[in-house]
Structure 1
Amino acid sequence: MNLPNRITIARIFLIPVMMVFLLVDFNFYPNPIVWHSYQLPYNQLIAVIIFIIAASTDGIDGYLARKNNMVTNLGKLLDPLADKLLVAAILISLVEMGKCDSWIAIVIISREFAVTGLRQIALLDGKVVAASSWGKVKTVIQIVAIIAMLINNFPFVFLNIPFDIIATWAAGLITLYSGIDYFIKNKTLLNLSRS
């Protein structure tokens, strides 16, 4: 197994670790980080660090695979799977914690599955659905929104700016738009252009 695939598998293994820190109430260190009116539990801080590490490995494994000519079928399968598992796991956890509206999580997760299905249909037809610029923007905004929710809107909480809510809505809307964009650009794969 090559290095990019090992990095991808490591990302998958980080997901349950992140969820444990996010969802389990650790009584061994109950005092949160407190600064004026801001509070952040230590387990939540550890979870956000794990999320940032996991999210950053997405670009690293793909870059290494392309640069060193190490692209494999296993990597093509695992990389998007790892991305979807990471985003779905964190969004479901944030819904359970009351930090994210369930409809936004449903929109984002549904879009990921729908585009994956579209890509599978394309592969059966011998075609590849390339990542769009909107898809890349969507990924960045999702990561920013998730981090903002995980760190309890720091530092915007001091300015009374609901950046976490704004970023979450932006992530939901751009995710929806990018999904529609994928289907419009690839409608021939679904025979939608024929009457």
Structure 2
Amino acid sequence: MSRYDALKREILNLPNLITIGRLFLIPPVLVLIDPTDPINNFIATMLFASAAGLDILDGWLARRQNLVTVFGKFMDPLADKLMAMSVMIYLVHVDLLPPWLVVLMMGRDFYISGLRSVAATMGVVIAAGEGGKLKTVFQLVGICCVMARYTYRWPLFDEMVDFKVIGTLFLYFSLLLSIGSAIQYTVDFRSTLRQQREGSEAS
């Protein structure tokens, strides 16, 4: 099998097609975000939540059908970042998020990506930790709540819930988890390098 055929086979398996499909949901989400239109905002929120749900589905299918590929390992986290960052940048544009929050989150993601690239050149693998995974969950839920943004009555209760406030709190907590996981990744990276150096000196 040629290199082209092997790549084509990787791209065209079902989990990777789902990952690519998630990217095509980004433009309609951005078009529908409208601070003045609750219906469009609701549709945009449902589309974004569907894209986040498909992320779980493609990972589950890849593991279940033994279809974990190099392309999928690269594209899946890239799709996550493009989804989250593009929507958060647009939420800043329509005054639904503070710019500093998005800048810090983007800076953290660029830092971790750079750290992983440096680690890979040294033969060190930095796996996603529980803090990073939890950060992503809080981030996606927070984005959905900010997009919904209006005050709704809680089912079975008389209390009103401001989704924008709840979503912003979720994103603040996601930021704290982001910083914490970035520190942990850095510590783990330095520890692994130290062990490798000590091992090479001992040999």
Taking structure 1 as the reference length, the TM-score comes to 0.81
Out of 87, 92, 108, the position equivalent to 2:89 is: 92
RMSD between superposed Cα atoms in Å = 2.5
Matching residue of 1:52: 49
The answer as to 2:132 corresponding to 1:129 is no
Report % sequence identity: 36
Gaps of 5+ in 2: 1-11, 198-203
Cα drift, residue 188 of structure 1: 4.9
Gaps of 5+ in 1: 33-39
- Secondary structure (helix, strand or coil) at the match of 1:186 reads helix
Out of 155, 159, 169, the position equivalent to 2:172 is: 169
TM-superposition CA deviations, 1:109-140 (whole Å, max 9, x none): 11112112222223223332111010111011
The answer as to 2:140 corresponding to 1:140 is no
Cα drift, residue 93 of structure 1: 0.9
- Secondary structure (helix, strand or coil) at the match of 1:92 reads helix
Out of 1, 17, 25, the position equivalent to 2:28 is: 17
Cα drift, residue 97 of structure 1: 1.2
- Bigger radius of gyration among the two: 2
Please say if residues 91 and 105 of structure 1, whose CA atoms lie closer than 8 Å, have aligned partners that are also in contact: yes
TM-superposition CA deviations, 1:130-168 (whole Å, max 9, x none): 110101110111012111111115447825693233222
- Secondary structure (helix, strand or coil) at the match of 2:96 reads coil
**Counterpart-to-counterpart distance in 2, 1:117 and 1:170:** 23
Question: Aligned in 2, Cα 1:4/1:176: closer, same or farther, shift over 3 Å?
Answer: same
The structure carrying a bigger helix percent of its residues is 2
Question: Aligned in 2, Cα 1:87/1:189: closer, same or farther, shift over 3 Å?
Answer: farther
Question: Counterpart amino acid of 1:166?
Answer: L
